[in-house]
């Protein structure tokens, strides 16, 4: 389920204060801000100029992934390069063809930068600046083209423009797919419409993108000081507990679970799923960085806590039922499964803790998978995500 817009806006305000949106809207630039920590990596802010340029309303954009602006002639290689930049948590400046709400295509220079937490180096957001690329009039197979309009069109190019309104999601996630999609790009990008050669940005447009990004980063840095949750444009510490690409992969898992890091002091939570937040009533920023024992209360069995601690010290999988407490202090029996998660080299990278409320299990046991099977499926999905992320990181460093 997509996160509700008011929840997304609340999280953004908690990071930067309630005044940040007004300050960002005063900037004359077209840009969006996304959050890789939320399932689906959605847009959490869209500037007025971006909404004006794209034809969408704010309600139609917030909570959606940026793929909604892609169309049939969007260059797949460019999409893959952007995805790799997200995976590697780095800047990218690339020309790409996007589509407005009415289906008309336009070329733009896309300049994306990650925003890092000063405290622990995590990627908090990605900022994407869009600078429209001015196209020169040129001859085309369909006639003379000016500003994307064919002056001698017999109708075929108009029909082709309408096809541009068709949206489809790019399913491949790795650069290894580039060879396969290149043939598709060649087939789609003929000389009758906007081609790749019309998407080249000038030096002036590139400088405009950099200036806009500096202004946006300045606003975000200033307003993060008001909340004490400081951000910056460069990673300020040695390592990030969780990469953006891993955050995105874990966000696709719709069950309640957390990931803890055994190599950080007190083994804190470094990832919490949306379902875990719904189960416990806590906000994400109230969970990250804390040990899971904060869910315990006065009637929690201390011997059960000791069993959990011992199993994690030995690196063994463990299942137990423990009394935990929500934020509103209401108790619930937590059917908990804990398992080590190893990276591509076989070393334990994290522990995954999968929660199921015992009362929910007993009510639905006739219509759902056995709880142990359900939990093991979550563990399996987490292991695949972590290993894939560590293999991608190894390839990019080699």
Mean pLDDT by 10 residues, the chain (398 residues): 68 90 94 90 95 94 92 91 86 93 94 89 92 70 48 46 39 42 42 48 91 95 92 67 78 92 85 93 86 91 87 87 94 93 86 87 55 86 86 60
For residues 115 and 177, membership in a common domain is answered with yes
Other beta carbons within 10 Å of 373: 9
Q: What separation, in Å, do the N-terminal and C-terminal C-alpha atoms of the chain show? A: 38
Report how far residue 127's alpha carbon sits from residue 150's, in angstroms, rounded to the nearest whole number: 34
pLDDT at 138: 55
For residues 261 and 219, membership in a common domain is answered with no
For residues 146 and 98, membership in a common domain is answered with yes
The CA–CA distances, whole Å, from 92 to 28, 110, 206, 246, 365 equal 21, 8, 12, 19, 49
Are the beta carbons of 185 and 76 closer than 8 angstroms? yes
For residues 271 and 354, membership in a common domain is answered with yes
For residues 125 and 25, membership in a common domain is answered with yes
For residues 22 and 145, membership in a common domain is answered with yes
How far is residue 305 CA from its own chain's centroid?
A: 34
pLDDT at 47: 96
Domain assignment present for 390: yes
pLDDT at 397: 54
Domain boundary (197, 232, 267) is at 232
**How many domains, the chain?**
2
For residues 11 and 133, membership in a common domain is answered with yes
Other beta carbons within 10 Å of 59: 9
For residues 222 and 262, membership in a common domain is answered with no
Domain assignment present for 244: no
Find the CATH number of the domain harbouring 61. 3.30.450.20
Report how far residue 39's alpha carbon sits from residue 275's, in angstroms, rounded to the nearest whole number: 10
Domain assignment present for 238: no
For residues 150 and 292, membership in a common domain is answered with no
pLDDT at 249: 87
Cβ contacts of 329 within 8 Å, gap of 6 or more? 297
pLDDT at 161: 41
Range of the domain at 50: 5-232
pLDDT at 114: 93
């Amino acid at each position: 389920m997509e996160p509700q817009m008011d929840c997304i806006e609340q999280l953004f305000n908690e990071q930067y204060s309630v005044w940040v949106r007004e300050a960002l809207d005063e900037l004359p630039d077209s840009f969006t801000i996304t959050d890789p920590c939320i399932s689906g990596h959605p847009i959490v802010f869209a500037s007025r100029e971006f909404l004006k340029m794209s034809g969408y309303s704010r309600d139609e954009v917030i909570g959606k992934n940026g793929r909604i602006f892609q169309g049939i002639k969007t260059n797949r290689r460019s999409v893959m390069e952007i995805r790799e930049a997200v995976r590697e948590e780095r800047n990218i400046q690339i020309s790409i063809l996007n589509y407005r709400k009415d289906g008309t295509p336009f070329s733009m220079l896309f300049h994306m930068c990650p925003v890092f937490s000063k405290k622990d180096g995590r990627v908090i957001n990605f900022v994407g600046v869009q600078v429209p690329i001015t196209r020169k009039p040129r001859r085309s197979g369909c006639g003379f083209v000016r500003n994307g309009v064919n002056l001698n069109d017999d109708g075929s190019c108009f029909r082709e423009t309408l096809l541009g309104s068709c949206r489809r999601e790019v399913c491949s996630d790795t650069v290894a797919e580039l060879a396969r999609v290149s043939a598709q790009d060649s087939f789609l990008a003929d000389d009758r419409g906007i081609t790749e050669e019309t998407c080249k940005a000038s030096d002036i447009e590139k400088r405009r993108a950099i200036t806009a990004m500096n202004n946006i980063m300045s606003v975000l840095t200033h307003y993060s000081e008001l909340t004490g949750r400081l951000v910056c444009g460069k990673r300020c510490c040695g390592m990030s507990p969780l990469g953006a690409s891993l955050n995105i992969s874990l966000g696709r898992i719709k069950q309640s679970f957390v990931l803890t890091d055994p190599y950080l002091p007190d083994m804190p939570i470094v990832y919490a799923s949306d379902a875990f937040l719904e189960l416990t009533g806590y906000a994400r920023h109230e969970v990250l960085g804390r040990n899971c024992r904060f869910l315990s209360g006065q009637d929690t069995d201390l011997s059960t806590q000791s069993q959990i601690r011992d199993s994690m010290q030995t690196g063994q999988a463990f299942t137990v039922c423990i009394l935990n407490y929500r934020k509103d202090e209401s108790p619930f029996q937590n059917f908990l499964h804990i398992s080590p998660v190893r990276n591509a080299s076989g070393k334990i990278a994290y522990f995954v803790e999968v929660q199921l409320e015992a009362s929910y299990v007993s009510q639905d046991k006739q219509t759902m998978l056995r709880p142990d099977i359900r939990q093991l499926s979550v563990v399996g999905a987490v292991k695949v995500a972590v290993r894939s992320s560590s293999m991608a990181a190894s390839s990019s460093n080699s």
